[in-house]
Structure 1
Amino acid sequence: MKRGILTNSSFFCPTMMDFPFSYSLPSPIFNQKLTTWAHAHFRFLALFQGNDYQYPEEPFADFFFAGNQELTENEIWDKSVQKVKVGIIGYDFKNQIEQLESSNPAWLPLPDLCFFTPEISLKFEGDLVKSRTELPDDFWKQIESIEFTEYSTECNFRALITSQEYLEKVKKIQDLIIEGETYEMNFCQAFEGQFENWDPIGAFFKLQKASPMPFSALFKAREKWLVSASPERFLKKKGSKLIGQPIKGTIRRGSTPEEDIVNRSILIESEKERAENLMITDLTRNDLSKVSKVASVKVDELFGIYSLPRVFQMITTVSSELKENVSFKEIIQATFPMGSMTGAPKIRTMKLIEELESFKRGWFSGAFGWIDEAGDFDFSVIIRSIIADQKAKKLYFAVGSAITIDSDASKEYEECELKSQAIREILHGRSDS
């Protein structure tokens, strides 16, 4: 392996996400050692893991980024700032796009936009670590010398609404559907926890083992953390192609191969789940059309059924050809938040969500990802995720499902329990609900 000298200037690379320097992967736990080392040396870090899923348009590429430079809002949107940009668009950024507000209580204060530009950029491919810059011997020695200090990943948490209150809210939503106020709403409930010592890095790798996902991610922004096992892509841009992949439709995996076959069949044949998915597919098509060439929006796959560790998901892939010179900001303004986390019609339903939910979503149901210097990007939907603040010693997670006129409230509650199961296991806390 060729070694070099690591300097601040050596991190700059003007080309588009090239990784010309290759090194043999030192150990199976290199990612955990690398993340632990970066936590001690950088204010920001991000780890993306696609877990080798056979996913339409591919899962997350396996990237690692670390740096100290936070980007201003102007730098995030300005395409002349040709830097790799990594970070989060919080759900409440909706208020800067439409005439909306978020007045529900926030468990943690979180910025609507939080991006950094990396000084270290690595890509993992098989048994290789690829870097955008040459890495010296000292870098590898520092990583290999890391010894883990075991901190707890347990945290007692409480539900913000009881199961009975949840059932009553679903009934209210269905009354609103009858009144014509909405057709479908993604209603979410939140869980809040407090801790003395909680290890976000340990929690991420435990979650990876318990529930590896195509859009797994770990993000640190100073004292704030995202620990994510997301199954869903928000948007991906490759050249002039824009891709959206809404998920609507969930069923438990079977305990045997035979039960798996039955459950998969139940999901694909469910009129209710297909109707939910179709409504959000139409919404996604409409959103993409705002920034795409006429007649270029198409549904590449409708009602695709994909196997995840604990559930089958119904995923639709929509793509389009972008208009000339459309900016990242214009794309986000046309499509954010993702319809799978709002419902339809989007704006009216977001207003109703604000009335019926009991918490400020913050980063939950926002988007997390990266943008390269050429303007290509890949963003997940922040679901099946823990959001924590080590300084405040608090965390929260949330979970939701699509409520339609055909929804059975008790089954929707069970679906939420299923979706949050892996997080509950990692936190291993006592629910006070």
Structure 2
Amino acid sequence: MVSLACHLDDSDTFIQKALQWAAQFENVCYLDSNGYRDNYGNIDVFIAVGATASFTSDGRDTFAKLQDFIDSHPNTWIPGFLGYDLKNETEDLTSQHPDRTGFPDAYFFVPAYTLLIGRYNAEIKGADPQAVIQQIEDTEITDEPVGFSGHLKYRMNRSAYFSAFAGLQQHIRKGDIYEVNLCQEFFAEQVSLNPLSAYRRLNEVSPTPFSCFFKFGEKYILSASPERFLSKNGDTLLSQPIKGTAPRGETADKDELLKAALAASPKEISENIMIVDLVRNDLTRSARPGTVKASELLQIHSFKQVHQLVSTITCQIREGMSATATIRNTFPPGSMTGAPKISAMKLIDSYENSRRGVYSGALGYFSPQGNYDFSVVIRTMVYNAETGYLSFHTGGAITDSADAEEEYNECLLKGKALFEVLKGQ
């Protein structure tokens, strides 16, 4: 493995050429922070291509086997994803709905080449990084249409959503749970699609801190996630659950009013605090005693499509905890389940009418330094080019005070960018 750093005169063009070049490989992970900066992430653009080794979940002991895979490939980047239905391994749970996407519960790969691209430079690692630079420079950026052909359908229509909502609210009033995330699937069958063009369009319509184009074989994940699930930096774990959503305003004044209303909403605040408590509890399983802290509560983060209410919870990792054990202890992401977590997940499987699969799982990487950073798989399209099946979900939290009409409209708001990419044909 050889490392080469180079100066970039025009990083935007280089990045687009690099993405075009990468998309030809069987294995690709392209991560773009879109210029969003915080104190916890330090990657602008990361590209991994080619697989010298890969890990696919077989449905048993996935987290332990993944740790063995990581340990047998030290000092390298290992990108991949963890599907929501791994809950069935970590708890006494099942998934009754069929697997229509054909994706495994987890997939990771050791890349042949990695690129870290900043504003003015790039670092390339692989057998012949100089050749890679030349190949990228010689690549022509194609502006092809998204090419979506297919009919987008609702798996759960409006009346079914309202019925499920009412049923879950009854469980809340009986005391079985006090918050739950209800999601619905939008899907199309016998689809053709240009995944790279669809991703580029998605990232244009909805640029987010955890934007990702992920490909393995004929399977694609096109993500515009704004939410960090969990990161490890040294002996610090950090989670940033999102609960609370508001649309963007048509004018600057309206935008500020919508932000202020979100920041002051008793409903949105209570939803966020409930999930903060859940995540604090999850992190306690991996933490040194007394180190779990909610360092930033109820911060407004603004994105092109929506404003979000975000909290930050951290802890120091207990001695002897492996990287995958710390993920297992908090998985699936609390913002996508509800509380109490296990009861909420049982009810989710009863009331939703589709299998979540990759959706509401986690997508990201393990780094050569033994750290990791994973987003929550939301605002994300999943496409199996082999079977022609395309799917995305949207969801929202139900509490005792939630209104079905408002939550249904919020689901549509969260899917707005994905609808726009597919309907803009």
> What interval of TM-score do these two structures reach, taking the shorter chain for normalisation?
over 0.9
Equivalent residue letter for 1:67 = G
Query: 1:217-275 CA deviation, whole Å, 9 max, x = no partner?
Result: 11001111100000000001100010000000001111111111111111111111010
Query: 1:177-234 CA deviation, whole Å, 9 max, x = no partner?
Result: 1111111010000011135531111111111111100111110011111000000000
Picking from 138, 144, 147, the partner of 1:150 is: 144
Matched, 1:101 2:94: yes
Alpha carbon RMSD of aligned pairs, Å? 1.9
| SS of 2:365 mapped into structure 1 | strand
Gaps of 5+ in 1: 1-9, 12-18
2:198–2:421: 8 Å Cα contact kept in structure 1?
Answer: yes
Picking from 266, 281, 284, the partner of 2:261 is: 266
Question: 1 CA distance for matches of 2:276 and 2:263?
Answer: 16
Higher mean displacement: 54-63 or 388-397: 54-63
Instruction: Tell me by how many angstroms 1:134 deviates.
Output: 7.4
Instruction: Tell me by how many angstroms 1:429 deviates.
Output: 7.0
Picking from 305, 308, 311, the partner of 2:306 is: 311
Matched, 1:70 2:54: yes
Partner of 1:413: 408
Question: 1 CA distance for matches of 2:99 and 2:54?
Answer: 23
Partner of 1:182: 177
Partner of 2:120: 127
2:112–2:126: 8 Å Cα contact kept in structure 1?
Answer: no
Partner of 1:92: 85
Equivalent residue letter for 1:154 = F
Cα gap change, 1:240 to 1:20, in 2 (>3 Å):
farther
Higher mean displacement: 29-38 or 400-409: 29-38
Cα gap change, 1:374 to 1:54, in 2 (>3 Å):
closer
Q: How does 1:223-242 map to 2 (within 5 A)?
A: 223-242=218-237
Equivalent residue letter for 1:218 = F
Higher mean displacement: 80-89 or 223-232: 80-89
Cα gap change, 1:171 to 1:294, in 2 (>3 Å):
same
Cα gap change, 1:281 to 1:144, in 2 (>3 Å):
same
Query: 1:60-117 CA deviation, whole Å, 9 max, x = no partner?
Result: 5421111222125566212532132110000001111011111112221111110001
Question: 1 CA distance for matches of 2:42 and 2:208?
Answer: 9
Cα gap change, 1:122 to 1:25, in 2 (>3 Å):
farther
1:123–1:131: 8 Å Cα contact kept in structure 2?
Answer: yes
Matched, 1:80 2:71: yes
Partner of 1:47: 30
Cα gap change, 1:48 to 1:136, in 2 (>3 Å):
closer
Query: 1:385-404 CA deviation, whole Å, 9 max, x = no partner?
Result: 00001111111000000001
Equivalent residue letter for 1:80 = D
Cα gap change, 1:328 to 1:317, in 2 (>3 Å):
same
Query: 1:357-414 CA deviation, whole Å, 9 max, x = no partner?
Result: 0101000000001002332000000000000011111110000000011011000011
Instruction: Tell me by how many angstroms 1:59 deviates.
Output: 7.0
Question: 2 CA distance for matches of 1:197 and 1:33?
Answer: 24
Cα gap change, 1:362 to 1:25, in 2 (>3 Å):
farther
2:82–2:361: 8 Å Cα contact kept in structure 1?
Answer: yes
Partner of 2:158: 163
Cα gap change, 1:414 to 1:59, in 2 (>3 Å):
farther
Q: TM-score, normalised by structure 1?
A: 0.91
Q: TM-score, normalised by structure 2?
A: 0.92
Percent of counterpart pairs with the same letter? 37
Picking from 323, 326, 336, the partner of 2:321 is: 326
